[in-house]
Structure formats: C-alpha cells, structure tokens
Amino acid sequence: MTVQRTLLSLLPGESAFIDKLDVGISTCKLLNLGVLPKTKVTMVRKAPFGGAYYIKLDGHQLAVRTEEAATIILENQI
Amino acid sequence: MKTSKLNIALLGNPNSGKSSLFNHLTGLRQHVSNFPGVTVDKKSGTIFLENGVEANIIDFPGTYSVYPNSSEEKIVINILTDKTNDNYPDLVVYVADATQLERHLLFATQIIDLGLPMIFVLNMIDLISEQGDILDIKPLEKYLGVKVIPVSVRNNEHLDSLTHEISAASQQIKGLEIPIKYVFTDVENFVATRIQKSLSTTSLYTAKVIAHHYKWLNHLDEDQKNKIKTITEQSAFNDLNLQVRETMDRYNHFAPVVRETIKVAKREKKSLTDKIDDIITHRFWGPIIFFAIMFLMFQSIYSWSSVPMDLIETGFAEIGNLLTNSLPAGWWTDLLVNGLLAGLGGVLVFVPQIAVLFLLISLLEESGYMSRAVYMFDIVMRKFGMNGRSMVALISSGACAIPAIMSTRTISDPKERLITILVSPLISCSARLPVYAVLVGFVVADTDVLGIFNMQGLVFMGLYLLGIVGALVSALVFKAILKSENNSFLMIELPNYKPPIWKNVFLTVKEKVTSFVVEAGKIIVLISIALWFLASYGPGNDLEEATTNAQNISIEKQLSDQDRDNLIASYKIEASYIGHLGQWIEPAIKPLGFDWKMGIAILTSFAAREVFVGTMATIYSIGSDNDEQTLRQKMASEKRPGTEINVYNPATSLSLLVFYVFAMQCMSTLAIVKRETNTWKWPIIQFIFMSVLAYVGSFIVYQLMT
C-alpha cells in the first residue's frame, strides 16, 4: 500500500500534478476554482500566521486553508 | 407577477468583470436594492436597446456554478430554477474572463442546460493579445451554440457590438433549442425525469439541479419537497458524488474546446503579479505592509475628511443662527433649527468619512489587494469568528464605525459578517476623543513617567486597548453563541493585480453615500427630533418655573445677559423630560459613581458621543460655545453636595471613561446596523450587550477604586 501524498507535503517552490480530490464538502468549490485532476499545482508560500497556503495553478492563484489543502491528493512522481 | 419589461441578467464568476460591464451599460441609471427577504445587494438598472425598447438589467452576485457555497450564490440558484420569480431572466448575458476561460465555462454550460437564452461575453481580450495568445472564437461558438462576443470592458473594445447583439437577441428570444450538454447517469436521468413530471419544469437539467437543492429552494412548498425527498431517497441519489461527477464531466468535455479557442503562448516564468506577491504576501513583510496601508488609510480618513466635516458643521450652525434670527421665535422655529436641521447636520457630517473610506477600500478591492489581506489574516480572524476582511472593518472603526459597518458587505459568510458588525462599534472612534480629552485630566495628572511616557497618553492608550480587547472578547462570545448555516471556507481566488477602473470606484462611493444618507438618514433625523422634544419640553409647568427661577436668581446676583441665558439653559435642561429622566436613573447609575448631571449627558449622548461635551457645558451653565478649558475648570471645582469631595474624582472619571469606551451611544451606528442587517433585532441586541458591558465595566472600575 502506498501512502497518499497531499498538497501539504509540498515545500514552497515545489510543484506536482494533482491526482484526485478526497470527496467532501469542499470538493465542488475546489473544482469550481480550477483545482482539477491532472493539473499542475505549485506551492508558493505559507500564510504569515499559518493556517493557509498560497498556491498557483494553470495561470491563476488561490489561497486554501490547511484542511482544504489536505483533500488535494497528488500524483506520486514529480 | 412578472413585469412586461424584458429582464436581462448579467451572470458570471466573481472577478469576470461583470460589474464593470454593468456599470458601463447602465452608468448612473442604476440603483441598489435587496433581493426579497435577504441582505444581498441587487444591482439593477435600465438600458435602452437599439429599437428604443427599455430593458431591465440585473447584475447578479458572482457565481461559480449551480452548486453554491455562499448565501449569495444560493439566491442566484433560487431564481434560475424558478420561472415564476420576478427576477427570472428572459436573456442571460454571461461574462467570462478570457484568461480563465476553462473555469468560467463551467457555470455557462450549466446555464445553457437550464434552458436560458444566452449571449456569451468573452471579456479581457486585451490581456490575451498582451500575453501573445491567439484567440479564435469559432470553436467556442460551435460548442456552446450561442453567440460569443469578445470584448474588453476596461479598454472599451467591441462594446458597441455587444449592445447590438443584446438588441438583436432580445427580439427573437424563443428561438433555437440547444440540446442539453451534460450526459446524465442512469440515476440522474431517472430522478430528473420523475421530478420534471411532478413539477412540470421545462428543462430536464433544471429538474436535476432541483434534486440537489430541494431542501433550501424557497419556491417549493412542503408537499413538493416531500415528493422530491421520496424520489431521491428511493433511487439512492448521491448529492455530493453526483455534483463532483457532473463538474468533472463538464470539464472533460470543454477542455479540448478551450485549447482550440485560445492558443496559449509560452509564459514568462514569473508574472508581474508573482513578483508583487513575493513582497506583498511575504510571511514577514506582508503583514507589515498591510498595517502600513491601514495606517495610511486611517490617517486619510482623519485628515482628508476633517476639513469638509468642519465646513458641514459650521455651515449648519450658520444656517441655524440665520434661521433663529430671521424667523419669529416659537416652538416650530426651535424644532426646525434644533430638531430637524441638527438631525440633517448629524447625517451629512458623516458623508466625508464614508466617501474617503470607500474611495480607499474600493481601490484596494479593485486592484486585487483585498483578497491578499483575507489570505494573510484568515487564521487570526477565524479564531474570533471573523474573516480577513473584518480586519479592514475593525481598523476603519478607529475612525468611525459607520463606514466600517457598511464595508462588511463584501464578507460573504453571514455569521462572520454579523460578528464584525456587532463588535466594530467597540473600537474607539473619533467621536469618543473629545470625551476622553475632557475627562482624562481628572484621572491622572499631566506628568511624565520614566522620563518618556506621558501619564495621560498612557491612559488614552489604555482606553483604546480596552476597546480592542472588548471587541475581540465579544467576538469570541458571539462566535460561540451564533449558529452558522454555511460551512466555513477560505478557498479564495488571488486575482492578478490590475489598475482600478475609476468608474467602478466612483460608482461605489456614490452608492454608499446615497444609501447612508437616504436609509440611515431617515432614522437619524427621527431620533434627533425625538431627542430635541425630550430636551425642550418638560412635565407640567416645570420649564416655566425653571425659567422664572433662573431669571430671579440672575437679577438677584446681577448677572450679565450672557450669564443669565446660560443659567436659564442650565435650569431648563434640568427641568425637561430628559432632565427628569437623568434624575430618575440616578439610583441606577450611583454604583458607577455618576450623578444625575452625568445621567443627562449620557442620555443626550445617544445622538452622538461628542454631544457629551456640549451637554455638560449647558448643565454647568457656561454656554455650549465655550471651549473645553472653561468646562474643565468648572467641572474640576464641582463638589458633591454638602461635602468637600470632588465630583470628578479619579474613580468617577475613570468609570465614566470606561462607560464611554463600551456604551453604544450613537444613533447613526444603530441606524446603519438596522439597514445592513435588514432587521431591528441586531441593533437592539447590540445596544443591550454594549450597555451591559459599559455598566459592568464602570461598576467594577468604580467599586475597585473606592
């Protein structure tokens, strides 16, 4: 069994491809905002007081909370 | 009932430029109201089509999809699934950001599937060519089956052809039927077909959307809801999974279309927005820059608005004097000058502050900075049940709570917005300053400690801190008490930085000022007339007796005319209804160290806090035109009847200061809270909790110090 890697495992500046989303209350909203499987996501930085992340997708930027980022599952190879 | 006028809806995702297009199309022919029963702005206006027909155009709240996450989006879905709704559109003008086409197509294809006629406006094509991308609208038009019009609202490109297309489309609305794009699963098909039959909706897709949302759709009655409940439960209709499935399916279908429509050129590694954000959202510099911006904003509200505010105040005073001197003396001249005119002045004096704050806030909002603030302070404010935007409101409250409360409209979560509204007036505003200035000298002497700090300065700072702590603690209490319907999200777009569109800024300022003057103004004028009545009339012939008494004393003591008038004013306010009220509440405020004179001042301060100073001047019969210095000397020499104890001893003075920190003594704030929450419930609750806080706070201070 392989361990699932989430967005939270990325260090600032690192990128990866999204594998899938853990279906929950935030899933639809993430999809609406372009957080889609097979899309490249870059971790830009952590919020000054923590709790949220600045991420970059195909040509646009989003802020997500820790618990929201935890539902974004990444593909294994970078 | 639907009006005969054509209803055109502007729909699209947030940040699509929808509102800019609305401002372009309607200009000043727009007005803001609420959607029935909710406090969500409904911006509507009139446009004239080419054939001379007038059409009604509504700027709907920005929406990502038919699966809503906020109460604003829910309103949109309520209307789009209800053909009998007043606001149901005859034609949809869908606005999409060409640089984010893929995401913005999601809601567009859903609207087409709901069976609504549409014109698809592809906005921001200037950025497409700037980035070196190549645009070809044919594949998109073919896929959507509706007219696509590429425009740039910012640069005024192709907007004429848009008006032309709207006119043309509005003439032949019931034309082609576009087949539903979404391929239903068996379960969806089964459920939707049965709901379609039961409700006789026209589109099968509308039936599916209803199946997802029937619980909160307000156009369905209980009977219909029960039927739908049975249908969905019998067929194991999984709400969440099917939402996700539909969204993914749509993306998969139009992703190739997007690639054909916009041929993306190679991007530079770092865009300008990336470079700006490296500094502005930096973990260390970000908050520092934020507080610097807030400090500048705070300063501007103070300094830019002080001159116009003084002009308004002196202007109204001049007009008042003019009227008093030229009109025959009588109760109605008094009502006109001291009731109505004073009330109007009390409304208009806030206009400069509101205008300056909204000028600056809409600049921050338009440029894209505000969402960065939300991102940076999310965790901090969330602990207090608020939102990153609340930070801006709380800081603005340091100048004045009224524009601050009006600025909470952009907080989409109702609970976070409500908490921000409720606690904002606890932050010490500029109207408290005169009160603090008069009283602080009675608490501590004007001496230095440790060579650098001034004692009075420290007390001042303590009062401001007390207000901040009071606001945050109250927020925690409200966070625990209030229930929330929505799940809390951050997930916010950080749009690319753009220069602001001045027309949008100007229209925001104009809208905020008008809505304050019209909506809150009515209430403020009524309350100030009531206060005027209470201060000008008394029970029985109390007032006449007081006047005679004062006149006799003046003759006895051979007072000058000026001193005589001051003495009469002092005796009269004591004999008026409000004077009686002040004496009546004395037993209640005695444990706080207050006498009935302070009682009167507290009551009249309900008009506005700074009225305290004027009332005190009247009570101590020094005339309200005298400066604070005279008043302070008079107050300092006041002794408790029959004793040598100072009335304004440190305990009483500090207790009174604490009272002014917490108490809700501002009818204008209450009026604006009523307007913003659409009910008297919240201003009443706010008034009660702040009064209790003030009473308890003063009680503790006075009892500890004596």
Looking at this protein, which amino acid is placed at residue B116? Answer: L
Listed in sequence order, the DSSP H helices in B185-271 are 186-199, 204-213, 222-234, 239-261
Q: Is B134 a domain residue?
A: yes
Cα dist. B496→B277, B370, B420, B499, B603 in Å? 10, 12, 28, 10, 51
Q: Are B415 and B296 members of one domain?
A: yes
Answer whether B450's CB lies under 8 Å from B415's CB.
Answer: no
Query: What's the CA angle centered on B136, arms B133 and B142, to 5 degrees?
Result: 145
Among B200, B229, B263, give the residue marking a domain's end: B263
Q: Are strands A72-74 and A5-6 parallel, antiparallel or unpaired?
A: antiparallel
User: Is residue B623 situated within a structural domain?
Assistant: no
Tens-digit pLDDT profile for residues B261-289 = 999 888 777 889 999 999 999 999 999 99
CA–CA gap between residue B628 and residue B649 (Å, rounded): 18
Note the pTM of the prediction, 2 decimals. 0.87
Alpha-carbon gap, residue B520 to B402, rounded angstroms: 10
Report the C-alpha gap between B608 and B668 in whole angstroms: 8
B500 found inside a domain: no
User: Is the pLDDT at B477 greater than 90, yes or no?
Assistant: yes
Domains of chain A: 5-74 (2.30.30.90)
Interchain CB distance below 8 Å, A52 and B378? yes
Alpha helix (H) residue ranges in chain A = 27-32, 66-69
Q: Is B259 on the interface with A (CB under 8 A)?
A: no
> How many domains, chain B?
3
Compute the nearest-CA separation of B63 from chain A (Å): 10
pLDDT in tens, B572-619: 888 999 999 999 999 999 999 999 889 998 998 888 888 888 888 888
Q: Do the chains contact at A48 and B496, CB–CB below 8 Å?
A: no
Residue (of B177, B178, B204, B182) closest to B192 by Cα position: B204
A-chain CB neighbours of B490 within 8 Å are: 52, 63-65, 68
Contact B99 A62 (CB under 8 A): no
Residue B12 maps to which CATH number?
3.40.50.300
Interface of A with B (CB under 8 A): 21, 23-34, 36-37, 44-52, 54, 56, 58-65, 68
CB atoms A32 and B493 under 8 Å:
no
Tokens 């829910």 locate to B74
User: How far is the alpha carbon of A32 from chain B, nearest alpha carbon, in Å?
Assistant: 6
B123-154, pLDDT tens digit by residue?
A: 999 999 988 999 999 999 999 999 999 999 99
**Contact between B378 and A47 using a beta-carbon 8 Å cutoff:** yes
- Residue B391 sits in which domain range? 268-427
Tell me, what DSSP letter sits at residue B157?
B
Contact A45 B495 (CB under 8 A): no
> Does residue B128 lie within any of the structural domains?
yes
Residues B90 and B236 in one domain: no
**Cα nearest neighbour of A51 on chain B:** B379
Amino acid at B317: A
**Are residue B280 and residue B399 in the same domain, yes or no?**
yes
Q: Which one of A32, A40, A55, A64 makes the best mutation probe of the B interface by having the most chain B beta carbons within 10 Å?
A: A32
Helices (H) and strands (E) counted in chain B, each on its own, are 33, 12
Its ipTM equals: 0.95
Q: What is the DSSP string of B195-217?
A: HHHHHT-S-HHHHHHHHHHTTT-
Predicted local distance difference test score (pLDDT) of residue B347: 86
CB contact under 8 A, B376 and A44: no
Starting at the earlier edge strand, list the strands of the sheet with B118-123. Answer: B30-34, B41-48, B54-59, B6-12, B91-97, B118-123, B147-150
Residues B129 and B249 in one domain: no
**For chain A, how big is the Rg over CA atoms in Å?**
11
Least confident of B171-175, B190-194, B496-500, B592-596: B171-175
Strand partners for B57? B8, B45
Across chain B, mean pLDDT equals 89
How long is chain B?
A: 706
Question: Quick check: B375 and A63 CB within 8 A?
Answer: yes
If we measure between CA atoms, which residue out of B330, B367, B483 comes closest to residue B15?
A: B367
Q: How far apart are CA B179 and CA B211, in angstroms?
A: 20
Mutate to test the interface with B, among A7, A40, A60, A67 (most CBs of B within 10 A): A60
B7-50 tens-digit pLDDT: 999 999 999 999 999 999 998 888 888 787 676 788 999 998 88
Q: Is residue B151 part of a domain?
A: yes
Using an 8 Å CB-CB cutoff, list chain A residues near B273: 61
Q: Is residue B703 in a domain?
A: no
Tell me the per-residue pLDDT of A39-72, one tens digit each, with 9 for 90 and over.
999 999 999 999 999 999 988 999 999 999 999 9
Task: Indicate whether B86 and B154 sit together in one domain.
Answer: yes
In angstroms, the CA B139 to CA B145 distance is: 10
Q: Is B551 on the interface with A (CB under 8 A)?
A: no
Beta-bridged to residue B493, according to DSSP, are A62
